[in-house]
Amino acid sequence: MNLYVMRHANAGVRKENPQLDARRGLIKEGKQQCMLMAGVLGALRVQVDAIVSSPLKRSLQTAQFVATEIGFEQPVVVSAALSPEADYAAFHELLTQMESCEGVLIVGHNPNLQLFLGRLLTGNGGAALRLRKGAIARVDMTRRPPQLQWLIDPRLARTIYTSVTRSSRPKTSRK
């Protein structure tokens, strides 16, 4: 299985009240990050059989925007195993349930996504990875231990896109 781990896109400033924070949605920049990262997934010809999201609004919106952009037509699955208070055991159980899928995109939160990913890759959580908002990591789960294939964040994707769309030849004037 190819596991795609995505941190939710930008949802603005955290709210002090946990109930209000759970209902915090994406801001304009976050929606743009979703479109950009969905474009990256499309360019890499990523195929997913399931998309699983944290129940919090910002993650669910991220998953739904990306699903729409990549043409994924099934409903997004909501799992408490990806919520901010989830533990590794619940995350591991979720992965076990998804074993029959070829490709799975999960959308969740920091710091637990970083911790889960580090533990998945090393077995003891010794890896230190940084998942910025909107970042996506691809993990090859068929290898033992699982192997990180790539990690792309919206800043890197935007830089690559800008450099590719710029002309490689200097502009000259023909008068």
pLDDT tens digits, residue range 93-104?
A: 999 999 999 999
| Residue 131 CB contacts under 8 Å (≥ 6 apart), including other chains | 5, 7, 110, 113, 114, 117, 137, 151, 153
pLDDT digits (tens, 9 = 90+) for 13-39: 888 887 787 888 899 999 999 999 999
State both tokens at 59. Answer: 């993650």
Q: Is it the case that residue 172 has pLDDT exceeding 70?
A: no
CB 76 within 8 A of CB 51: yes
Q: Is the pTM of this model over 0.85?
A: yes
What amino acid occupies position 106? I
What amino acid occupies position 5? V
Domains and CATH numbers, the chain: 2-162 (3.40.50.1240)
